[in-house]
Structure 1
Amino acid sequence: MRAFIIRGFGTKKDSEDHRFDLDAVERDLIQPALAACELTGGTTAEIDEPGSIHADMFALIVEAHVVVCDITVHNANVFYELGVRHALRKKHTVLIKARGSADATPFDIGGDRYLAYDPADPGASVADLVKRINGGLHSARETDSPIFQVLTHLDEADRSQVAVVPADFAAEVARAESAQSRGWLRLLSQEVRGLRFGAEGLGVIGAAQSRINDLEGAMQTWEAVRERKPQDLDANLELATLYERWHGRTADRVFLERSNEAIRTVLAVDALDAKHRSEALALQARNLKTLWRTELEPMATVAERRAAALNRYLLQAYEVYRSAFRASLNKFYAGITTLQMGALLQDLSGQARWRNLFRTTIEAARFQEDLVRELAVLHPIVRLACEAVEDRGEADPEGVWARITLADLDFLESPPEPSAGDIASLCAGYAEALRGAPTFARDSARRQLQLFADLDFRSPAAKAILETLGAQAGGGPGSSAPQAGTAQRTHLVVFSGHTVDLPGTAPPRFPAAAEAAVRALLEKRLRELAADGNGLTVLASAAPGADILAIEACRALGVPSVLCLPMPAPVVAREVFGPYASWLNRFQDVVEAAQDRRLVLHDQARLPDWLQAAGTDPWARGNRWMVELAQAWGADRLTLLAFWDGNESDLSHGGTAEMVRLARASGRFRIDVIDARSVPGP
């Protein structure tokens, strides 16, 4: 959890010229107390990004779980910031004040309790401040704000509406999503943790990862959000979906139960609003539908599937979907799925097993009558909800789902025995609705149509639409990129090696005269790795020396390689190759040969503004990016091939030793070292 400190800076005097070292108070009292309470944070001094300090300051004040405010001396900025906190957050604001200050506490906060400390020895009050902070965090007291004490009807600010996510951070996430780069988004997910907008930034990344179908990465990101805020509604709802989808990929029932646990967490929230209740119920129904579909999988024939389909899971899923839609009629997803499950119930109700779902024959008949009536009422309501979304324009994130739902409605409302013209119209409708849609949306529509076909529900139309969608299939923007997300399974090798020594380098690590010997060693090892028949692919950067030699060796052996540059090639050439003029032409040849198998992380040499305060080195960032790219690739095997001198004490940024440490820490790579110390002399 994060804290924010409101205080004056430096040494300040009260009205009688008593001096108070407020920097020392933070150093000796406030920060030790925050650390003991497992809180992080500081003052406005932590705002390093360009822009409006006022916007950032307000965000920090409102986002903070705890605010510690020093009111020792009269300071207009301090009282202004305290007023912002009291006006927007109900509690967890702790006041402190030095003993002996001649400045009286202002009347408006005169009734508030504050912790008095000794200005000569503020550290002596650490234990008292820890007690005060923890007491506030675990107190059942409704508010410590004089504003909320008087105006009891006010609602405090929604932190999600005031949190400041830097524009350049959001833009980088959007670029990574557009490139369909799982590794880039995973890198951002790691980098944003610990930053002041970390939780909000993780939410932006997690949503992007879900949209490009990186289930594993999205789960890790949203789990990081939930670690900070276990009851976070968005995190639990997203994880409920991701766990169910991962269950569908792995058939591991543990993940379906994790999904149900996340849903129960949401539904247990007191005074849960209609929007989130509807979403949680819809996910609960979806899990029931998943269990229902699982029971159909072993069935070989249509007759067997239709017989097995008529069970309690189908009935329960329909009823919970109906409850979800009733909770919020704007949630057209719950509405269309209610209609789909209800249509299947109606279609299957002629079977003799229908009666077994109910206690009595009368109850079965009554349900059947109610079903017909409810489905007739639901159709126009769901259509209106979708059309309302369409009226909001293309920018609405729910627009693609509204278009798909309208196509689904047309399918359900089509004649049971459609004409050729009806089928052609339905095919065209789905093709248009899914044009440019995310992979997950396309897959979802296909799965539902396949289910209808498997159960012989309007199967001629369903099969025709599936054929049309199959012909239209495409991965969307960036699908041809060589990084993660492709269907290819491979042995992926990340290469890292020392740069060639400059004249006078001591001790020598890669003497220029040893180039031919190093090239021969690299070719030998790559040939051995390629011999296992797993479709070897190599990721490498292009520093002068072993990196360029490795890419040249790949080209000679016909091994596919992907060039990974932390910044554009002209910038790399300018920043790196000044002392290595003899390697510059080779670098440019490597870049030109890479063509569409070239990945670039950032568009300039300096780090993005949002990352400037983190103390990150751009070359070290490039190493982390390559490791994340590799892990997100989907390969059968991962290897780090390193031309390295084995120097474990080398703590420099961006080098081979760092890459070895990163690969080890991931636990996913086999480390294959070509010992630079064993290279024979020229």
Structure 2
Amino acid sequence: MDCFVIRGFGKKKDSHGLEIDFDKVDAALITPALEKCELIGGTTVRVVDAGAVHKDMFEFILKADLVICDITVHNPNVFYELGARHALRKKHTVLIKGRPSADATPFDITGARYTSYELAEPGEALDDLIAAIKSSLARGRETDSPIFLMMPELPEADVNSVAAVPLTFIEEVEHAEARADRGWLRLLAEDVRGELFQREGLKLIGWAQWVLKDYQAAIATWETVRRFAEQDLDANLALANLYERLFRQTEDPVQLQSSNQAIMRVLQRGGISPAHKSEALALQGRNLKTLWRITFEKLPTVEQRRECAIDLKAKQAYEAYRAAHKVDLNNFFPALAALQMGHILLALSGHMRFRNLFSGEKQARRFIEDLKEELTALRQVVRLSIENALATKENKDRRWAQISSADLVFLEHVYDSPEADMSAVVDAYRHSVPEDGVSPKDSGRWKGRSAPRDNFFWDSARGQLMLFEQLDIGAAAARAVIEEFDGPFSPTHEVKDLSQKRRHLVVFSGHKVDPKEPPPTVPRFPCSAQDRARDLIEAALVKLKNEGDQIEVLVSAAPGADILALETCKTLNLATWICLPMQREAVAREVFKDHDDWRNRFFDLTNTHPRNQTFVLSNNGGLPQWLGARPMMTAWSRGNRWMLHQAQAWGADRITLLILWDHNKDDKSLDGTAGMLKLAQKAGGIYIELIDCRPLASS
């Protein structure tokens, strides 16, 4: 969460001439409190203590989740900014005041609570300030602003009315999604923290993570959005979908409950549009359908699956979809879902157990008769709704309409002409699955990352086709379509091969070779020691390879240990993935300028390396424009964080950082090997294997 600090800068005097060092207070009290509470922000160099109050400062005051204001002395700028906060936002403003101070609290805020600290030792109040911050953020109190207390009907300012998302940020998110780079999106979610456009920026990232099926990361992103605004419709609808998808993977009931809770947050919010209400009700139907499917989809025979599928939840899901469509007749998704579930119920109605869903035979017959009439009418409604969407919608909404159009062709084939040629059904899906990007059947080459974004749309269609195949309803047509996209059909209930090797991702990092001119005062990795370094790296990789896992290696390509690791992996026939923080030419220019022989080896390796196994973070040779000036951040330190995020998003059974390191714990650099080690230690869940390079110095 984001925090803005309103305070004096440097040394200021109270009305009796007592000098107070506010920079000392910030360093000893405020900054440590923010770190302990995991808050991002503070003061900003763009806001000055004297002179005009900038637009940027007002944006920070408005957008910050929390404001800390020091009211120790009568500083006009401080109270002006505090007044702006109280007028713009209802709550989460924490006041602090040093003592002793000759300046009394102004009358207008005399009743406000504040945290005291001793001017001589401000750090002694650290625990008190941490408690005040946590209490403010957790408190259900409506407001801490005297303005909103006096005028409770006054509307709060819209935090989304300022700070548009920079185009360069939007483009970087789009590039990451286009490359199906989950690690890049996780990096962006980290980098956007504290920016004025953080909330809207996170939404863009969250959508992209959803498309790439990085569900855990997408949930974390959307939950961060929801911390800004608990009832945010985009966040809650996204979380309802994401938790349901995670439930399908894990069958953990907590995930489905979290999905249902997100849906209820939408439905309980006042003043929502029919479109949002319809979507939320449709998601309720989808969750019922998911619970229904897991009861039978892993059973081995069609007979067992069809018998188990005769369950009250199937009828409830159909009714929920119908109710969702009635709320918004323009929403074709619940109408199509109701049509699909209705046809499944009709296909199962001949089974003797179907009558058990009703209180008697008469009620069962009446339901079937009504269902047939409803489905006839519903088919026409769905067709018209899809045609309208195809004519009026754009981008992803249009793609959903295209897929839905193919789904309708499949249903009509199943119930109007099941014996007819299936090529029309196959063609309908072939034409509706977006053509940009690679076909889903080629997704195997995107190892370690999600398949391209268009697989997201195909996955939705595949899931519905698999349901019909499992219940032997239009099974031949469903299999024909799936084989067109995925190759030979593989039933989902097949037993997995438990003898398959575990995936073990090795992230390699190591020191660069020492420069020739000027030579270092204390050698670390002289060029003459490269054979010895290669032997150490090879021994470590052979040891990991002999453990029996499927080894893949993620490595950059700086002169020295990285190049040696790439050459060794080639000798050992280990799959490697090169991560370059910038374009190849920029890397060669920046880090190989004094190493001509290493540059040639770098070009040889990258020229022969599979292109789809080479990742490039930046196309411009540096930090993106939207990041601006970030203290302590360089393209190289950002590249390190990107590699670690790549590893965590890889989907491997084990991640190991294999690191050629000189054990220099005083190295504070974030750009190189020491920085990578610190990141891995902080990340958790990563094994660390050290290769001691200290003997190289004397080689």
* Cα offset, 1:169, TM superposition: 1.9
Alignment equivalent of 1:585, drawn from 595, 600, 604 = 600
Alignment of 1:536 with 2:535, yes or no, is no
* Cα offset, 1:440, TM superposition: 2.7
Partner of 1:398: 397
Alignment of 1:432 with 2:431, yes or no, is yes
Rounded Cα–Cα distance in structure 2 between residues aligned with 1:22 and 1:392: 62
Alignment of 1:564 with 2:579, yes or no, is yes
* Cα offset, 1:203, TM superposition: 2.3
Partner of 1:608: 624
1:332–1:56 Cα change, 3 Å: farther
Q: Deviations 1:200-228 (Å, cap 9, x if unpaired)? A: 33222121111012223323333444455
Partner of 1:501: 514
Contact 1:92 1:137 in 2 (8 A): no
Q: Secondary structure at the match of 1:493?
A: strand
Question: Structure 2 unaligned runs (5+)?
Answer: 436-452, 490-499
Contact 1:418 1:461 in 2 (8 A): no
Q: Deviations 1:3-43 (Å, cap 9, x if unpaired)? A: 55689999999xxxx9x999889969996899699676556
- Report the residue type matching 1:429 in the other structure: A
1:78-227 equivalence runs, <5 A: 86=87, 156=156, 158-160=158-160, 162-226=162-226
Rounded Cα–Cα distance in structure 1 between residues aligned with 2:684 and 2:34: 30
Rounded Cα–Cα distance in structure 2 between residues aligned with 1:488 and 1:330: 49
Q: Which moved more, 1:308-317 or 1:641-650?
A: 641-650
Q: Secondary structure at the match of 2:294?
A: helix
Rounded Cα–Cα distance in structure 2 between residues aligned with 1:631 and 1:136: 30
Alignment equivalent of 1:660, drawn from 677, 688, 699 = 677
* Cα offset, 1:361, TM superposition: 3.9
* Cα offset, 1:369, TM superposition: 3.7
Q: Secondary structure at the match of 2:553?
A: strand
Rounded Cα–Cα distance in structure 2 between residues aligned with 1:618 and 1:185: 16
Alignment of 1:555 with 2:570, yes or no, is yes
Rounded Cα–Cα distance in structure 2 between residues aligned with 1:551 and 1:37: 40
Alignment of 1:636 with 2:649, yes or no, is no
Partner of 2:493: none
Q: Deviations 1:73-124 (Å, cap 9, x if unpaired)? A: 988x9979977984x7566789999x999xx99xxxx999999999xx9999
TM-score, with normalisation over the residues of structure 1?
0.80
* Cα offset, 1:555, TM superposition: 2.6
- Report the residue type matching 1:166 in the other structure: P
Contact 2:510 2:659 in 1 (8 A): yes
Partner of 1:243: 243
1:3–1:553 Cα change, 3 Å: closer
Alignment of 1:525 with 2:533, yes or no, is no
Partner of 1:322: 322
Q: Which moved more, 1:66-75 or 1:320-329?
A: 66-75
* Cα offset, 1:626, TM superposition: 1.4
Contact 1:517 1:680 in 2 (8 A): no
Partner of 2:336: 336
Contact 1:4 1:60 in 2 (8 A): yes
Contact 2:61 2:84 in 1 (8 A): no
Partner of 1:625: 642
Q: Secondary structure at the match of 2:422?
A: helix
* Cα offset, 1:541, TM superposition: 1.7
Rounded Cα–Cα distance in structure 2 between residues aligned with 1:214 and 1:136: 29
- Report the residue type matching 2:564 in the other structure: L
Q: Secondary structure at the match of 1:398?
A: helix
Question: Structure 1 unaligned runs (5+)?
Answer: 474-486
* Cα offset, 1:604, TM superposition: 3.0
Q: Which moved more, 1:630-639 or 1:205-214?
A: 630-639
* Cα offset, 1:658, TM superposition: 2.2
Rounded Cα–Cα distance in structure 2 between residues aligned with 1:440 and 1:196: 31
TM-score, with normalisation over the residues of structure 2?
0.78
- Report the residue type matching 2:411 in the other structure: L
* Cα offset, 1:497, TM superposition: 1.3
Rounded Cα–Cα distance in structure 1 between residues aligned with 2:515 and 2:205: 41
- Report the residue type matching 1:637 in the other structure: R
Partner of 1:469: 485
1:139–1:30 Cα change, 3 Å: farther
Partner of 2:525: 510
Partner of 2:278: 278
- Report the residue type matching 1:608 in the other structure: P
1:73–1:494 Cα change, 3 Å: closer
Partner of 2:411: 412
- Report the residue type matching 2:685 in the other structure: R
Rounded Cα–Cα distance in structure 2 between residues aligned with 1:654 and 1:543: 12
- Report the residue type matching 1:399 in the other structure: R
Rounded Cα–Cα distance in structure 2 between residues aligned with 1:647 and 1:517: 20
1:361-400 equivalence runs, <5 A: 361-395=361-395, 397-400=396-399
Rounded Cα–Cα distance in structure 2 between residues aligned with 1:387 and 1:155: 41
1:36-47 equivalence runs, <5 A: 41=41, 45-46=45-46
1:112–1:376 Cα change, 3 Å: farther
Q: Secondary structure at the match of 1:200?
A: helix
Contact 1:6 1:82 in 2 (8 A): no
Q: Deviations 1:141-183 (Å, cap 9, x if unpaired)? A: 689697998895x865543454533322221111111111112
1:442-461 equivalence runs, <5 A: 442-461=458-477
Alignment of 1:357 with 2:357, yes or no, is yes
Contact 2:40 2:193 in 1 (8 A): no
1:139–1:465 Cα change, 3 Å: closer
Q: Secondary structure at the match of 2:582?
A: coil
RMSD across aligned C-alpha pairs, in angstroms? 4.7
* Cα offset, 1:646, TM superposition: 2.1
Q: Which moved more, 1:432-441 or 1:563-572?
A: 432-441
Query: Paired residues, what number?
Result: 656
Rounded Cα–Cα distance in structure 2 between residues aligned with 1:342 and 1:204: 35
1:469–1:578 Cα change, 3 Å: closer
Rounded Cα–Cα distance in structure 2 between residues aligned with 1:264 and 1:680: 64
Partner of 1:482: none
Alignment equivalent of 1:650, drawn from 664, 667, 688 = 667
Rounded Cα–Cα distance in structure 1 between residues aligned with 2:351 and 2:682: 58
Partner of 2:305: 305
Alignment of 1:423 with 2:422, yes or no, is yes
Q: Deviations 1:297-327 (Å, cap 9, x if unpaired)? A: 3543333322222211111111222222233
- Report the residue type matching 1:570 in the other structure: E
Alignment of 1:673 with 2:694, yes or no, is no
Q: Secondary structure at the match of 2:685?
A: coil
Rounded Cα–Cα distance in structure 1 between residues aligned with 2:109 and 2:693: 71
Rounded Cα–Cα distance in structure 1 between residues aligned with 2:530 and 2:9: 57
Contact 1:94 1:133 in 2 (8 A): no
1:157–1:591 Cα change, 3 Å: same
Q: Secondary structure at the match of 1:295?
A: coil
Q: Secondary structure at the match of 1:646?
A: coil
Contact 2:566 2:576 in 1 (8 A): yes
- Report the residue type matching 1:551 in the other structure: L
Rounded Cα–Cα distance in structure 2 between residues aligned with 1:190 and 1:521: 35
Contact 1:29 1:122 in 2 (8 A): no
- Report the residue type matching 1:333 in the other structure: F
Rounded Cα–Cα distance in structure 2 between residues aligned with 1:460 and 1:418: 12
| Identity over aligned pairs, percent | 42
Contact 1:652 1:658 in 2 (8 A): yes
Q: Secondary structure at the match of 1:411?
A: helix
Rounded Cα–Cα distance in structure 1 between residues aligned with 2:28 and 2:662: 47
